[in-house]
């Protein structure tokens, strides 16, 4: 584990750059994480997904998959890929400061 500085705050990150401690996250940090993922500006639709990801994580201990996001976040799978072209669940988890979604079988 190492640390990184986003928006002037030192946070713990894993070797893939995901925040180790979701409670260190702020909206300002999210903006910088998004830029690192190639998303220049976070729109309201991005925020809707990011906030939903955090809610789900704190309620269930893991972030949702793309299909679960499409069913329950209020944003369709098609739009999710438009918002987060490099893979919605992974990128949105990164920006939301929660762990990368767990492996499937």
Partner 1 sequence: MSSRIVILGAGTGGTLIANRLRRSLPADRASITVIDRDDRHVYQPGLLFVPFGLAHADDIVRPRSRQLHDGIDWVESAVERVETARDAVVLADGREVPYDVLIVATGAELAPEETEGLTGAGWGVSAFTFYDLPGASALAEALPLLDGGRLVVNIVDMPIKCPVAPLEFCFLADWFLRERGVRDAVELTLVTPLDGAFTKPVASAALGGLLEEKGVRLVTEFNTGEVAYGAGGRGGTITGYDGREQPFDLAAVIPAHGGAGYVLRSPGLGDALGFVPADPATLQSKAAPNVFAIGDASDLPVSKAGSVTHFEGEVLAGNVLRFLEGRPLDASYDGHANCFIETGFSKALLIDFNYDTEPLPGRFPGPAGLPLLKESRLNHLGKLMFQWFYWHTLLPGRDIPGIGAHMPTAGKHRPDGGPQTSTQKEDPTA
Q: How far is the CB of 70 from partner 1 (least distance, A)?
A: 9
| 104 touching partner 1, by CB under 8 A | yes
Binding partner 1 (rule: CB under 8 A), the pick from 30, 53, 89, 96 is: 89
Write the DSSP assignment of 65-94 as a string of letters.
PHHHHHHHSSS-HHHHHHHSTT-HHHHHHH
Query: Cα–Cα distance between 84 and 68 in angstroms, integer?
Result: 15
Which residues here bind partner 1, judged by CB under 8 A? 60, 63-68, 71-72, 77-78, 81, 85, 87, 89-90, 93, 100-105
Q: Provide the annotated active-site residues.
A: 104
């Amino acid at each position: 584990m190492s640390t990184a500085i986003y928006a002037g705050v030192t946070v713990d990150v894993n070797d893939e750059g995901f925040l180790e401690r979701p409670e260190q996250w702020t909206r300002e940090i999210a903006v910088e994480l998004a830029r690192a993922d190639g998303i220049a500006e976070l729109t309201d639709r991005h925020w809707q997904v990011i906030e939903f990801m955090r809610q789900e994580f704190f309620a269930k201990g893991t972030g949702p998959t793309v299909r679960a996001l499409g069913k329950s976040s209020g944003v369709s799978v098609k739009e999710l890929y438009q918002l987060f072209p490099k893979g919605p669940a992974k990128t949105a988890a990164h920006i939301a400061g929660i762990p990368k979604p767990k492996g499937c079988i």
